[in-house]
Amino acid sequence: MPTAIHWFRRDLRLGDNPALLAAREAGDVLPVFVLDPAIWEKSGDPRKHFLAGCLAELHEATDGRLVVRRGRPADVVPALAREVGADTVHVAGDTGPYGRQRDAAVEKALGDDAELVRTGSPYAVAPGTITKDDGTPFKVFTPFSRRWRDHGWHEPAARPRSVSWARADSEDLPEAPDLGGTEVLEPGEAAARTRWKAFLDDRIEGYDDERNRPDLDTTSRMSAHLHFGTVHPRTLLADIAGSGKSGKGVETYTTELCWRDFYADVLWHRPETAREYFNDELRGMTYSTGKQADEDFEAWAAGRTGFPVVDAAMRQLLAEGWMHNRMRMITASFLVKDLHQEWTRGARYFMQHLVDGDLASNNHGWQWVAGTGTDAAPYFRVFNPVTQGQKFDPDGDYVRRHVPELRGIEGKKVHEPWTVGDALPEGYPERIVDHKHEREVALDRYAKARGR
């Protein structure tokens, strides 16, 4: 049998993996993961922990044959293909701007030695598939979602009962950093399965009502699993259909999966919008820069703004590498509209720390908040961090969980610690801005930028 490489990237699973099945058809399968030291070193500990855990599981699942090599894929993959005499290198397609470039470089470096075979994508519907009748891409979510639902998706692929694994030397698997007991999402395909089953059995029907509550465990927590491909969205959609469940919760959850596909589709058509404004209208916007702005940014990043819900969320991000979606909106709005900083700065920070950090969803989410994206939020929509906290963390449990200085304050009063007692609790910072004032400033800046 010839040797076929299966190069795992963001499909760290054996179940429902069409690219792996294609490799298996082609020969004995050499399972490979390329660890780019530059990316690894830039990752926060929670992300390292998650990835290392996934790789350890994959090593087990491949009978200890997973080959890890460090370096640039364009160097490592062709060298390995030559080393083992592989004719084909199988991958799940990567439609992001960097993935496309990387794969093109690998393909070129492989030359005539081996063929790079792309099978499938990490999305329910591959980017570029859903278009309007005239063939152009959608710019508005709702019509995209109607077309997406009408299109449907493939059935999940079977998990291979057995694979004949090929052999090659491996470097040591990366070690998971010690997170000091912080509770984080469990990595790996099996954990994804367990977590998903629990959500589907018990929580999906209440999802529409409960999903905005950061104090409760009401979301599926599939984001990191979807990002690293320990589960595929097609599997989730098939499970939902198979569950026989319906109703608002199911609809809303399905819509969230559609958002992921939508933003990937937008980025596929407009790769430059990973960094640049989707909508040029606000190009002339002015931002705060300089020493004060840098200090404000540091306070935001460290969770020391003096606004409890913002601080709780930013500290959760640092500790766990994850933040509830509602909290992402609140903290993003705070950076953009209270601190008047460009969304790109916040997006970059989120990408460094989020375990689920997905370029399309993250950066277009930020563009939505900033008003520069598809379906952008109206510029006058400025989140009030106190109101949002009281509304979505009604008992204050979320704040107290992540901000120890405020644990002495009971109930929802914790969202306004400045109204409790004579002084703020020891160690908790004063508010770094006056929200009411900064709201006015933001509206003013937006009006000016739009007037140009």
Partner DNA sequence: TTTTGAGTTGTTCGA
Partner DNA sequence: GTCGAACAACTCAAA
381 binds DNA (CB under 7 A): yes
- Which of these ranges, 77-85, 121-129, 168-176, 379-387, lies near DNA under the rule CB under 7 A? 379-387
- List C-alpha distances in Å: 177 to 51, 318, 341: 11, 14, 32
Cβ within 8 Å of residue 232, ≥6 positions away? 11, 13, 16, 17, 122, 156, 226
Binding test (CB under 7 A) with DNA, winner from 327, 388, 399, 417: 388
Cα–Cα distance between 410 and 396 in angstroms, integer? 8
314-333: contacts with DNA (CB under 7 A): 325-326, 329
CB of 358 to DNA, least distance (A): 13
Q: How many residues bind DNA (CB under 7 A)?
A: 38
CB 138 within 8 A of CB 132: yes
Please classify residue 437 by burial: count the beta carbons closer than 10 Å to its beta carbon, then call 0-12 exposed, 13-18 middle and 19+ buried: exposed
- Which of these ranges, 20-28, 104-112, 157-165, 432-440, lies near DNA under the rule CB under 7 A? 432-440
Distance of CA 211 to the CA centre of its chain: 17
The CA-based angle 11-12-18, given to 5 degrees, is 45
Give the torsion sign (CA, 296, 302, 304, 309). positive
Cα–Cα distance between 29 and 164 in angstroms, integer? 6
418 binds DNA (CB under 7 A): no
135 binds DNA (CB under 7 A): no
133 binds DNA (CB under 7 A): yes
383 binds DNA (CB under 7 A): yes
- Which of these ranges, 129-137, 153-161, 189-197, 241-249, lies near DNA under the rule CB under 7 A? 129-137
283 binds DNA (CB under 7 A): no
Which is nearer to DNA, 88 or 333 (by Cβ)?
333
Sheet containing 67-70, strands listed edge to edge, beginning at the edge strand earlier in sequence? 67-70, 28-35, 3-8, 88-91, 115-118
Binding test (CB under 7 A) with DNA, winner from 180, 181, 378, 451: 378
208-237: contacts with DNA (CB under 7 A): 212
Which is nearer to DNA, 43 or 363 (by Cβ)?
363
Which is nearer to DNA, 105 or 443 (by Cβ)?
443
- Which of these ranges, 4-12, 43-51, 119-127, 253-261, lies near DNA under the rule CB under 7 A? 253-261
CB 406 within 8 A of CB 428: yes
412 binds DNA (CB under 7 A): no
387 binds DNA (CB under 7 A): yes
Find the helix or strand (DSSP H, E) in which 37 lies.
helix 37-42
291 binds DNA (CB under 7 A): no
146 binds DNA (CB under 7 A): yes
- List C-alpha distances in Å: 232 to 15, 189, 316: 9, 10, 26
DSSP-derived secondary structure letter, 252: H
Find the helix or strand (DSSP H, E) in which 45 lies.
helix 45-61
Which is nearer to DNA, 100 or 391 (by Cβ)?
391
DSSP-derived secondary structure letter, 412: G
382 binds DNA (CB under 7 A): yes
377 binds DNA (CB under 7 A): yes
Binding test (CB under 7 A) with DNA, winner from 87, 276, 375, 397: 375
413 binds DNA (CB under 7 A): no
Which is nearer to DNA, 69 or 260 (by Cβ)?
260
266 binds DNA (CB under 7 A): no
CB 365 within 8 A of CB 328: yes
Which amino acid belongs to residue 273? T
Binding test (CB under 7 A) with DNA, winner from 37, 248, 380, 404: 380
- Which of these ranges, 69-77, 93-101, 131-139, 240-248, lies near DNA under the rule CB under 7 A? 131-139
Cα–Cα distance between 237 and 435 in angstroms, integer? 41
Residue ranges with strand state E in 115-183: 115-118
Binding test (CB under 7 A) with DNA, winner from 139, 149, 245, 270: 139
What residues make contact with DNA under the rule CB under 7 A? 132-133, 136, 138-144, 146-147, 212, 255-256, 259, 325-326, 329, 365, 368, 375, 377-384, 387-388, 391, 435-436, 439, 443, 447
